[in-house]
Amino acid sequence: MSRFSVVCALAAGLILPGAALAAPQPVSSDAASRAFALLGRDPVRLDMLLRAMPKGADLHNHLAGAVYAESMLDWAAQDGLCVSPAHGRILAGACAAGGDGVRAADLSGRPDMRADMIDALSMRDFVPTASDRSGHDHFFATFARFMPAQAAHGGDMLAEAVTHAAGDHVLYLELMISPQLGAVAGLGARHPLHDEAFAEADRAITPDLPVLVGAARQDVDAMEARMRAVLRCGTAQAAPGCGVTVRYLYQTIRTMPPAMVFPQLDFGYALVHADPRFVGVNIVAPEDDAVAMRDYGLHMRMFGWLAERDPGVKLSLHAGELAPGMVPPEGLRDHIRQAVEVAGARRIGHGVDILHEDDPDALMAEMARRRVMVEINLTSNDVILGIAGAGHPFDAYRAAGVPVALSTDDEGVSRIDLTHEYARAATVYALDYAALRDLSRAGLEYAFVPGESLWRGVAPYRMVAACASVPAGPVPASGACHDFLAASARARLQWALEARLHDFETTMIREAGLGAGSARSKGHGPA
């Protein structure tokens, strides 16, 4: 195969781990880096190379925002829904007689109108106007505009998310979802929170939680069953998305009154305990919203109270998704710090305003020491906050030793995928292959899927002794590495990523004409 065709085959997933290769040989990290630099000089080839590159995880991915507008318009058509071209919305029912709505099914014959709808439901071709002034407002407004099309299609949405992940060669997704949100938030009306009497509110809410937990689990059962049917999982015709491992974060909404936020957090903790598919809790919605700003500290204290009671539940919190001018200066000074120090977050979503916080160097040093990882969403930060390139703290975090990984945030709304984010990072921040591979590994190192890590150190990545001398490939049939992997779901994913990286690097080195590599290391260093 030519260099181009091998890159194509890699991109299409046609070169499978272990296929066309004899017993795995160690790959030289230096050779892999040189091969990547050589093959990736052409920006188009770089994109293809990065698509083929195995990526550990996408840890910051809202399922509601992961779906492309085209799919939602198709579902709206199937379901007999109406759209309002004038308002760029999908409506919850059929068109009213004499109204100005258009049947979604009729958009197929009106391509210009359909294209305008796609623009209204996403960031595609966004241009500020007097009535649609900012990327921030347009972005967040899309959710209400398309939500009616999602109501009956959770399984189709999940199928689309894992299909895109498989196309990006991503092994693991941690999707943010909010089953039973309305009923859970509604607990606040029956059991109002008084000031900060969290224990009292918790006692009142607790008896109502099991029924809602059961309902949420059934929602996820149905969603996954539909996804498996759509993708024919478990059959000979299984689509590639079936191979992507999925876990969930219970996504709470910070723009509601405190009495409705606390039950969401309490419920999230209960759901994590009841269902191993839920591996953590998050809090989302525009951070600059008036209620979100007013109650930010209160929300962190709610998390802090829950964390003291129950430190085993892992938190990834949106914090610092703010830019100067968006809020008064004092609003930029301590959100990330509170998420880390008061709530006990193990991961921070966005963290864009870090350099405007009080004593950012000390905060970043603390995050580095506590291994608090920042989920970096480059395109989202650009289109929502107008923060990009040298103005983004990506390099500051890396220089301070704070762990980072790349994620998509809302790939459907932003019209991107994870490969796009890797390409953006590689180009804007001049990342070499070793840095990109570290980002890929960080996705699984900081995932909330349980189990010991395959790595005993991460700077640089060094494998645990039990597995360090075992060739990359399938899980060994016996021995210390087998036993180690058998006990850790996270390490098994990490092992699978290393096998895929090994095959990717071997092919890349051969294609670059650099031979099989000098076998100086396996890429993860000596044990």
Cα–Cα distance, 135 to 429 (Å, whole number)? 23
Q: How far is the CB of 425 from Zn ion (least distance, A)?
A: 17
Q: How far is the CB of 318 from Zn ion (least distance, A)?
A: 6
Q: How far is the CB of 307 from Zn ion (least distance, A)?
A: 21
Lookup: tokens for 281 = 């809790």
H or E, element range at 269: helix 258-274
Least distance in angstroms from the C-beta of 376 to Zn ion: 11
Which is closer to Zn ion, CB of 24 or CB of 349?
349
Q: How many CA atoms lie within 13 A of 489 on its CB side?
A: 12
Rounded to whole angstroms, how far apart are CA atoms 151 and 179? Answer: 11
Which residues have CB under 8 Å from 263's CB, separation 6+? 184, 185, 187, 188, 191, 201, 205
Whole-angstrom distance, CA of residue 59 vs CA of residue 440: 11
CB of 377 to Zn ion, least distance (A): 7
Task: Look up residue 395 and give its two tokens.
Answer: 């390099």
Nearer to Zn ion, 77 or 291 (CB): 291
C-beta of 208 vs 409, nearer to Zn ion: 409
Q: Which is nearer to Zn ion, 107 or 327 (CB)?
A: 327
CA distances 464 to 66, 450, 468, 474, 495, Å, are 35, 17, 6, 17, 11
Q: Which of 485, 450, 200, 423 is nearest to 346 (CA)?
A: 450
Q: Which is nearer to Zn ion, 350 or 398 (CB)?
A: 350
CB of 174 to Zn ion, least distance (A): 12
Choose between 409 and 417: whose C-beta lies nearer to Zn ion: 409
Residue (334 or 409) nearer to Zn ion, CB = 409
Q: CB 430 → Zn ion: shortest distance, Å?
A: 26
Distance CA 387, CA 393 (A): 9
456 in helix, strand or coil?
strand
User: What does the block give as tokens for 500?
Assistant: 């895929």
What's the token pair of residue 290? 């008036």
Q: Whole-number minimum distance, CB 384 to Zn ion, in Å?
A: 9
Is residue 290 classed exposed, middle or buried when 0-12, 13-18 and 19+ CB atoms within 10 A define those classes? Answer: exposed
Give the residue carrying structure tokens 């189990």: 451
CB of 159 to Zn ion, least distance (A): 21
Q: How far is CA 335 from the centre of its chain?
A: 21
Measured from each CB, the residue nearest to Zn ion is 409
Which residues are near Zn ion by CB under 5 A? Answer: 409
For the CB of residue 132, give the shortest distance to Zn ion in the complex, in Å.
21
Q: 55-62 and 170-177 as β-strands: parallel, antiparallel, unpaired?
A: parallel
Q: What are phi and psi of 102, to 5 degrees?
A: -125, 135
The DSSP code sequence of 273-304 is HH-TTEEEEEEES-TTSHHHHHTHHHHHHHHH
Could you tell me the smallest distance in angstroms from the CB atom of residue 282 to Zn ion?
A: 8
Minimum distance from residue 348 beta carbon to Zn ion (Å): 11
CB distance 242 to 181 below 8 Å? no
Task: Select 160 or 409, whichever has its Cβ closest to Zn ion.
Answer: 409
- Residue number, 33 or 282, with CB nearest to Zn ion: 282
Cβ closer to Zn ion: 164 or 500?
164
Distance in Å, CB of 146 to Zn ion, minimum: 16
Torsion of CA 326, 329, 335, 341, to 10 degrees: 170
Q: 269: which residues sit within 8 A by CB, 6+ positions away?
A: 281, 306, 310, 313
- Give whichever of 47 and 409 is closer to Zn ion, judged by the CB atom: 409
Distance of alpha carbon 137 from alpha carbon 279, whole angstroms: 31
The sign of the CA dihedral 107, 110, 113, 119 is positive
Q: State which residue, 409 or 503, has the beta carbon closest to Zn ion.
A: 409
Q: What are the beta bridge partners of residue 315?
A: 281
Residue type, position 38, single letter:
L
**What three-state secondary structure class fits 250?**
strand
Strand partners, 404: 374
Q: Which is nearer to Zn ion, 170 or 187 (CB)?
A: 170
